[in-house]
Amino acid sequence: MEKKFSYLDAIGEQNICFAGMKRLYLYPGMEFRSEIKWWPDKGMRVTPHEGVDICYFLDSTGEECRVTPEFRVPVMATGRVLAISKDYLGETVFLDHQYEQLSRFLSIYAHITPLPDLKTGDKVCAGDVIGTVADTAGKKNRIPAHLHITLMTIAKAVPVEKFDWHMISYPEDAKLIDPLRMLNTKKIEFMSKNHWKEMFGL
């Protein structure tokens, strides 16, 4: 029987530190629709979280690690690059999976540095690498480098020029889907407290 494609396994195939990963940690604020921030900053998110953030994990030796800027980003399904746009931490790649006649199913990879030769219209297969996680050193709010994933369906009538971070945050014509439904949920652990809160005794 053909093995079901697992996105977390695909990440492990591309990143030695992630291979044999025991747990993906989701701290409060990293999950879909969360209204709080998971990095050291007061206040709430401007809009509910548009997807999930992949950053902290327990590696094969049982040590907690963090995604670093060299972290290679594979795609979760075969598709075509629909758009590449800048976001506040790096760039966002929109991948179109040709869902239905009138709507697109998109997987979106944000806060990354796309491969230099990646361009709109390119076909990529499940597991192919499209870039690395963007370095956030010196960026606002001390947000650690991480991979943000959004899934959405959107009408084909929406022009490609509209595909940017603003559209993800204010998805008037789109329907956002919880990315956890596409991941191997057995390896995901929801944490009760954030790192920085522990650090500052909050």
Cα torsion angle, 48, 95, 119, 125, sign: positive
Residue whose pair of structure tokens reads 């990440």 in the numeric block: 11
Least separation, in Å, of the C-beta of 22 and Zn ion?
A: 23
* Contact between 108 and 150 (Cβ < 8 Å): yes
Least separation, in Å, of the C-beta of 174 and Zn ion?
A: 16
Per CB under 5 A, 37 contacts Zn ion: no
Least separation, in Å, of the C-beta of 7 and Zn ion?
A: 16
Residues 73-132 that bind Zn ion (CB under 5 A): none
Residue closer to Zn ion by CB (options 55, 81) is: 55
- Cα(29)–Cα(166) distance, integer angstroms: 19
Least separation, in Å, of the C-beta of 53 and Zn ion?
A: 4
Per CB under 5 A, 53 contacts Zn ion: yes
Residues 127-156 that bind Zn ion (CB under 5 A): 148
Cα torsion angle, 137, 95, 191, 29, sign: positive
Least separation, in Å, of the C-beta of 201 and Zn ion?
A: 26
Residue closer to Zn ion by CB (options 90, 114) is: 90
Residue closer to Zn ion by CB (options 17, 30) is: 30
Residue closer to Zn ion by CB (options 5, 88) is: 88
* Contact between 86 and 151 (Cβ < 8 Å): no
Per CB under 5 A, 31 contacts Zn ion: no
Strand intervals (E) in the chain: 23-26, 52-54, 56-58, 64-66, 72-74, 79-86, 91-96, 103-114, 123-124, 129-133, 147-155, 174-177, 188-190
Binding footprint of Zn ion on the chain (CB under 5 A)? 53, 148
